[in-house]
């Protein structure tokens, strides 16, 4: 019994694997003899040939958001039915599949309708397709595709890009060749990922354009990995904006205040130029980060103006009297006994009504303090106020910018 089973297996193996070189040559000759590569493989020539297309994404090599070019490696798989390429395996040593050059059979020529380079055709005549004895034809090719992409960096660096790569079938309309998708999304089984972009989702659709020509659209939705951008883009913006305000902590006598302000202003202007060069030169839509840098540039220019005006106050002669309003303002912010109330700077004391209320002694002390208020003290107080004010404004503007970015993205 066991011997019979082994014998059956061996005989079966001989049937399957007994195909010789002459069997292959005969099969190739018989299939291509009288075969017209210019005629669609449709029994009814008024019926379309169904061609299924599937993309197997391998990797996203690069996304050039300045030039708007998406580069990726992928496998393109096309399948269709050709009744003229059917055969009986028993007549050819059990052969069930055969590889033939595309130039020997009819095949649908796909054209990349969103090319970023000179290469737009993918099914070359020297490429090979795999035939099945049932007449099914499978063509698979690995390709490096560079496709154009409409870039939207409004919410950079928290942006999501939607890139469309489309293939059109030239020479045939929908009534002659019908493009079909195998799945609603790109196959990501072989996908390796990208260091700069996360692939959020993909989509495949078939559209009919002008003249009945069909176009297969492959959509890539990619999100920028913002860890790199946070360190190299956002944090420098925060640091430059905050360092701006530290000019008010410099001693006026150092003579470095104006130079520090100008240096910070130029640093923001240069950084703005660097950011602009790394993004598409487009104003539709304008990246919000440009508005943020413009605000920081205006903010830095305002600080420089305030520094110059405050230094003029600091440089005034002590013999020049300080206006009563500034004295009251100074005493209200520096006096620890007046509870934040404005204090009159009149040198002859307060009114008789106030004296009658027992404030005479306190008013006399305040009057003495008022006489000690100088332009340098007022300038020093303004330095403290402006330092706190501009630091808070810088942090608030940065927080608002980040919030708008995340909400919009």
Q: Is residue 53 part of a domain?
A: yes
Q: Please, what is the end-to-end C-alpha distance for the chain in angstroms?
A: 72
Q: Domain tally for the chain?
A: 2
pLDDT of residue 361: 42
Is 77 part of a structural domain of the chain?
A: yes
Mean pLDDT, to the nearest integer, of 288-300?
90
Backbone angles phi, psi at 87, to 5 degrees: -155, 165
Token couple for 203: 């989509």
Q: Give a yes or no: residue 345 inside a domain.
A: no
Q: Which of 9-13, 48-52, 359-363, 400-404 has the lowest mean pLDDT?
A: 9-13
Q: What CATH number is associated with residue 129? A: 2.70.170.10
What band does 166 get if pLDDT is binned at 50, 70 and 90?
Answer: very high
Question: Is 87 in the same domain as 129?
Answer: yes
Q: Is the pLDDT of residue 288 over 80?
A: yes
Same domain, 234 and 310: yes
CATH number at residue 235: 1.20.58.390
Instruction: Give 183-248 as a DSSP string.
Output: SSS-B-TT----SSEEEEEEEEEEEE-GGG-EEEEEEEEEEE-HHHHIIIIIHHHHHHHHHHHGGG
d(CA 347, CA 77): 95
The answer to whether residue 356 is domain-embedded is no
pLDDT interval class at 219 (50, 70, 90) = very high
pTM, two decimal places: 0.74
212 or 355: whose pLDDT is higher? 212
Whether residue 127 is found in the same domain as residue 173: yes
Confidence band, pLDDT 50/70/90 cuts, at residue 369: low
**pLDDT-derived band of residue 162, with 50, 70 and 90 as boundaries?**
very high
pLDDT at 241: 86
Residue 309 lies in a domain: yes
Of 88, 86, 87, 90, the residue nearest 12 (C-alpha):
90
Q: Taking all residues of the chain, what is their mean pLDDT, rounded to a whole number? A: 82
Q: Which of the four pLDDT bands, split at 50, 70 and 90, describes residue 16?
A: very low
Claim to verify: residue 93 and residue 155 sit in the same structural domain: yes
Tell me, what's the pLDDT at 70? 93
In this predicted structure, what is the pLDDT of residue 338? 54
Q: What is the mean pLDDT of residues 45-56?
A: 90
Q: Do 239 and 388 belong to one domain?
A: yes
The domain containing residue 144 runs over which residues? 2-224
- Exposed, middle or buried by CB within 10 Å (0-12, 13-18, 19+), for 298? exposed
Separation of alpha carbons 219 and 163, rounded Å: 6
Domain boundary among 189, 224, 259: 224
245 and 174 belong to one structural domain: no
**Confidence class for position 204, pLDDT limits 50, 70, 90:** very high
What does the DSSP assignment read for 144-165? EEEEE-----TTTTS-EEEEEE
Provide the pLDDT for residue 15.
42
Strands of the sheet containing 160-169, edge to edge, are 110-112, 160-169, 214-224, 197-208
Token representation of residue 280: 């598409």
Are 228 and 198 within 8 A, CB to CB?
no
DSSP one-letter code for 354: H
Out of 224, 249, 281, a domain closes at 224
DSSP string, 256-305: -HHHHHHHHHHHHHHHHHHHHHTS-S--TTPPHHHHHHHHHHHHHHHHHH
Residue 141 has pLDDT above 70, yes or no: yes
- The residues near 94 (Cβ < 8 Å, ≥ 6 apart) are 15, 16, 17, 18, 19
Estimate to the nearest angstrom the gap between the alpha carbon of 159 and the chain centroid.
4
Residue 160 sits in the same domain as residue 234? no
Same domain flag for 158 and 18: yes
Q: How many CB atoms lie within 10 A of CB 261?
A: 22
Contacts of 191 (CB under 8 A, 6+ apart): 57, 58, 59, 199
Q: Are residues 59 and 134 in the same domain?
A: yes
pLDDT at 349 over 50: no
pLDDT for 335 equals 67
> Does residue 180 fall inside a structural domain?
yes
* Domain-embedded: residue 175: yes
Does some domain include residue 369? no
By CB neighbour count within 10 A (0-12 exposed, 13-18 middle, 19+ buried), where does 160 fall?
middle
Return the higher-pLDDT residue of 173 and 317: 173
pLDDT at residue 348, as a whole number: 40
The most confident of the ranges 34-43, 112-121, 225-234 is 34-43
Domain edge (last residue) among 224, 256, 281:
224
Residue 398 Cα distances to 35, 238, 239, 246, 347, angstroms: 70, 7, 10, 17, 46
Tokens 């600080």 belong to residue: 303
Q: What is the pLDDT of residue 208?
A: 87
Is the torsion defined by CA of 266, 272, 273, 274 positive or negative?
A: positive
Provide the pLDDT for residue 195. 87
Q: Do the beta carbons of residue 137 and residue 131 sit within 8 Å? A: yes
- Section 9-33 average pLDDT: 69
Query: What is the per-residue burial (b if ≥16 Cβ within 10 Å, else e) of 79-88?
Result: bbbbeebebe
Q: Buried b / exposed e across 112-147, counting CB within 10 Å, b at 16+?
A: bbbbbeeebebbeeeebbebbbeeebebebebebbb
| Residues 198 and 237 placed together within one structural domain of the fold | no
In terms of domains, do 115 and 216 share one?
A: yes
Measured CA to CA in angstroms, residue 291 lies from 67, 202, 233, 397 at distances of 22, 32, 14, 11
Out of 3-12, 69-78, 123-132, which region has the weakest mean confidence (pLDDT)? 3-12
Is the confidence at residue 9, as pLDDT, over 50? no
* pLDDT over 70 (residue 353): no
52 and 138 housed in the same domain: yes
């Amino acid at each position: 019994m066991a011997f019979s089973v082994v014998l059956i297996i061996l005989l079966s193996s001989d049937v399957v694997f007994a195909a010789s070189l002459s069997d292959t040559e005969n099969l190739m000759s018989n299939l291509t003899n009288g075969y017209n590569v210019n005629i669609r493989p449709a029994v009814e020539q008024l019926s379309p040939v169904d061609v299924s297309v599937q993309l197997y994404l391998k990797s996203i090599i690069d996304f050039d958001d300045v030039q708007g070019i998406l580069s990726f490696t992928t496998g393109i798989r096309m399948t269709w039915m050709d009744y003229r390429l059917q055969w009986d395996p028993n007549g050819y040593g059990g052969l069930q599949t055969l590889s033939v050059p595309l130039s020997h059979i009819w095949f649908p020529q796909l054209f990349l309708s969103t090319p970023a380079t000179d290469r737009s055709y993918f099914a070359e005549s020297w490429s090979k397709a795999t035939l099945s004895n049932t007449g099914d034809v499978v063509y698979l090719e690995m390709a490096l595709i560079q496709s154009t992409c409409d870039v939207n960096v409004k919410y950079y660096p928290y942006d999501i890009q939607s890139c469309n790569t489309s293939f059109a079938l030239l020479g045939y309309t929908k009534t002659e060749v019908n493009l079909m998708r195998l799945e609603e999304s790109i196959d990501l089984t072989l996908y390796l990922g990208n260091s700069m972009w996360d692939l959020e989702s993909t989509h495949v659709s078939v559209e009919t354009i002008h003249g009945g020509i069909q176009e297969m659209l492959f959509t890539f939705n990619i999100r920028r990995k913002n860890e790199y951008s946070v360190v190299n883009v956002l944090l420098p913006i925060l640091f430059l904006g905050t360092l701006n305000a530290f000019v008010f902590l410099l001693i006026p006598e150092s003579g470095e205040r104006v130079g520090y302000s100008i240096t910070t202003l130029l640093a923001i202007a240069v950084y703005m130029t660097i950011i602009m060069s790394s993004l598409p030169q487009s104003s539709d839509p304008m990246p919000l980060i440009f508005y943020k840098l413009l605000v920081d540039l205006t903010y830095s220019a305002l600080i420089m103006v305030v520094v110059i005006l405050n230094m003029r106050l600091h440089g005034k002669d002590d013999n020049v009297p300080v206006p009563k309003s500034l004295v009251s303002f100074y005493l209200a912010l520096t006096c620890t006994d007046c509870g934040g109330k404005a204090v009159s700077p009149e040198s002859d004391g307060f009114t008789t009504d106030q004296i009658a209320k027992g404030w005479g002694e306190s008013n006399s002390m305040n009057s003495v303090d008022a006489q000690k208020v100088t332009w340098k003290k007022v300038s020093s107080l303004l330095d403290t106020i402006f330092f706190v004010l501009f630091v808070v404004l810088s942090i608030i503007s940065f927080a608002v910018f980040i919030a708008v970015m995340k909400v919009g993205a």
